[in-house]
Structure 1
Amino acid sequence: IVVPTPGPTLFLNHSKPQYQSISSNLLLSTFYLTCVCVCVSEIRRCLALWSLQPPCVVCEDVSVEQLCEWTVEVRLDRHAFQNQTLFSSKKEAIRWSCHSLGTAGDIFQPGTDESKSTAVVKTFFLQRSFPLPVEEVAEPEKGRFCCNLKDITCVFTYRGEGSSEAAACQSAYQRALSRLAPFIGYCGPVAPPSSTADAKQRLSTLLEGTALTSVNSALSETQYRISAQLRFSGYSMETEGQDSRKATRAQLSQRLLGLLGEDEMDSTASVRNVLDEWFAKKGLEKPVFEYTNDKFGTKVTFSAPLICSYKEWQASREKAKKKLIDELQRRVKYFCDGSTN
């Protein structure tokens, strides 16, 4: 049996398909292939309705991207955090210990101010009805303080993302390893795991003999994004005359840029220059402008690839497909009058 190479992103190239024989993951491969074929069929149907058909317009590629999120939960049962770092005040000592706890539990958002560590950690415990850790401040040297945290009982959640369930799972376990190792007292470097099984085993080994246990590991979310590549070959767009030839050409250039997905540009920039630069950067021949019989009417003929996608991830393939079709429709409206309303 031969099917397209399986994976989180599957490309269907109608001109040069790449195949390989496989004996496993057949259902997964068939599932992806079915999804892509349905998308191609839907896109072709829409293009036909919009009178965009071969040989001038061809759907070359459709890709389906998958983003998985995996969560790993680790439970702490009356864990004690020992801290021997000394500070000049009790407040600083408590804050540093709370910051260490928050870092270990992946509680902080990126860029969280360290001065707010204590408040953020306490909010985390209170919102989840966990008992607050006991702060035990000591003064081993006169005027120098350290803070230990006792009776830490809670559940830490670690999230990982990847283009497959296995990659997301491995990422989540790696995050748990890197956050918990210093907190437990392991001072050595934490090398990335070689596989999901390796990551699970290393976390299990790390937690042995502690008050921490891994209680849950599961796929929490899967999102999708679909993109399509069309090929325009010798395609022409026309516009009726404006007040001048310059205005007509500028209006047509603006519409072509919108079709190509370059509708957000500096209002002070010359649309003609922006259009020429777009084609030059991609090594393509510049569009050819011609004047028609109408007063200042203009026609532009061009050949270029059009990659269309909806950037935000969607909760299902069906929603991702709909967003792609909506985006294609928004682009195609530039054929009419340049308006996307």
Structure 2
Amino acid sequence: MKLHHLPLLAAMLVSGPGALAANSFPTQPVRIVVPHQAGSTTETFGRMLTPEMSTLLGQPIVIESRPGAAGTIGARDVALSKPDGYTGLMNASIQVMYPGIFKTLHFDPMKDFTPVGVFGFAPMVAVVRAQSPIKSFRDLIEAARAKPGSITFASGGLGSLPHLVGELVNVRSGVQISHIPYNGTGQALTDVLGGHVDVLYASVASALPQIKGGKLRALAVTSAARIDLLPDVPTIAESGIPDFDVTSWYGYWVPKDTPRAIVDRLNQTMRDASEMPAVAKRLANDGIIPSKMDAKEFAAFAAAENKKWLDVMKRANVQPN
């Protein structure tokens, strides 16, 4: 060995095996498990970035659907996988809410994973059917206050973020708008359009066609600021609940003990992909806000979201099954 190679070798040895692995990562396809049905919103989010991520990594990214038990079957599969960066989990923000939804889990959603990054943030929108007498979000709160429990809101599932947004509205405004859970947003949307339920909290992308088509009226968006796709629709914060700011988000996790250098490489790849012109346009067309958080920032954010929503569940008396 030549003497001038010794400093480089010493640096690599001091950095440890994680650094050595990261220098060559990846050398084979990367598998990302989506713990929901193929074609789900979660998978759709991931596919907006993964083709470009694959190009940047120089290896294929294989998305595998493993649905069941609100995503916990696929999540457990990843939790038990080898921590080498080649198996990851793509899940919605429900990942950090599992302890409030299930009494028994066969993995710890916070401790058995290392957060990598966020595929994107998606504001939600509160909508009513076009014929509804509720003309604004303030009208909604006033109607709920006048007749407690008589106004209803739909969501795509018990413990889902749209459900918890509705509960947070109740907690923050002191009203009682009754929750009607559905198995998916499609049926919830159908029943709101049919006048069977008053309000729906949904992703902007899923509700936008009906809003543009004049079948739904948008009352307010859940984000802190108005969004470009619905510039005339106020925020909930503007409509009487100060500092209200909720967006749906879709994250990427790997098993705990995955080398930090590999986690950071995957995170940087996500952020670089989201800045590519084609991806940026793709995200903007669906009202998705790209993430600029590094892996450590995402870890702190996920922990804060876990604490926030478990508190909302407790205050709203949402009981785990």
Same fold (TM over 0.5): no
- The bucket for the TM-score relative to the shorter chain is under 0.3
Which is higher, the Rg of structure 1 or of structure 2? Answer: 1
Name whichever structure is richer in helix by fraction: 2
The structure with higher relative contact order (CA 8 Å, sep 6+) is 2
Name whichever structure is richer in strand by fraction: 1
